[in-house]
A and B are shown apart, each in its own frame.
Chain A
Amino acid sequence: MLQSPVTTLAPKAIHDQNGALLVAFGNGDLEAARALMGALSPRVVSQATRMLGNGAEAEDVAQDAFMRLWRAASTWRQGEARVSTWLYRVTSNLCIDRLRTRRGSVGLDDVAEPADSTPGALETMQTAARHRALSNALARLPERQAQAVSLRHLEGLSNPEIAEIMEIGVEAVESLVARGKRALAAALEGRKDDLGYEDD
């Protein structure tokens, strides 16, 4: 049975909690680190995988991002910034660094596909192929466009939140997202039949 995750805390309360956990870790509380990792590592790994199109690299990036978070804990001032925003920014920058070193070497079908347990072999293969194609198309976008599209449509962040992470204006975010989506649509245009998705 597919279902959405249940969140019992309001967003602001969650952010405050993350900040408090980070401060606690800065004071030596390892259980606080474990709680932070549990809350944030899936999002970090997801974001990195979507930007890089490679699960193993995404986990390397996630480990690197969390190492930076651990080192920042001792000087973290709660209330000045959100831990999640900080992590998004660090993860994005790490992914961009990796993308720059391998720009152009990612083939359209080179990405490890996510596991899929839904019934129907053909549907399963087509679902995996769609995901793989989108991940690769994202990895081939200019870094800033890929970052903006990923944060907007895959992480579900608002434009002001993305502007804060990318340290640009809201209008610049909207422009990057629009251009990124146009490029993605063009990249996937010729593969609609293969990927098994239909026009409106």
Chain B
Amino acid sequence: MTWGMKMIDKSATPLDALLAEIACLQAVPSDAVQEKMMADARAVVAENVVAMAAPLPAARGLFGGLSALIGGWAAVGGLTACIALGVGLGVSKPAGLTGLFGTTTQDVVSVSLGVDANPLSLLGG
């Protein structure tokens, strides 16, 4: 690092004059530090180029995209299991539920309310 000097005004207080004397000195950074600064600049440019050139994620296809939307293949598996259970409950006639809600026939479930459910009888006719 080197310094250059210029003329100063000596009419100020001693401290002001000294400050002005120092202020006139302009440091010139050494060649070494200037090279380091430019090397840093080149490194930053290279980093930015690498970041911009990073490949985009590979296309997943329709099912891959849907699974990602739901939460991955584990979530798809759980959802599938739940759907299968629900469908199974809907079409099958679980024996354990028979006594709870009444008798079951081939296609109809009749429920006993404990009263005469004939609407006409309720009207007194």
Contact = CB atoms under 8 A, between A and B. Distances in A.
Contacts of B36: 63
Interface in B11-66: 13-23, 25-30, 32-34, 36-38, 40-42, 44-45, 48-49
B22 A63 contact: no
A154 B23 contact: yes
B2 interface: yes
Interface residues of A, number: 54
5 contacts: A37-B41, A41-B29, A42-B27, A43-B26, A192-B14
Interface stretch (A76-84, A97-105, A114-122): A114-122
Secondary structure at the B interface, as helix, strand, loop or mixed, is helix
B84 to A, nearest CB: 51
Secondary structure at the A interface, as helix, strand, loop or mixed, is helix
A181 interface: yes
Interface in A1-58: 2-5, 25-26, 28, 30, 33-34, 37, 41-43, 45-46, 49-50, 55, 58
B1 A59 contact: yes
Contacts of A188: 14-15, 18
A63 B33 CA distance: 7
Interface stretch (A67-75, A87-95, A139-147, A160-168): A67-75
A153 B23 contact: yes
B70 interface: no
A37 B35 CA distance: 10
B5 interface: yes
Q: Which 10 A-B pairs have the closest CB atoms?
A: A114-B3, A33-B41, A153-B19, A70-B44, A46-B27, A59-B33, A45-B27, A154-B23, A66-B37, A67-B40
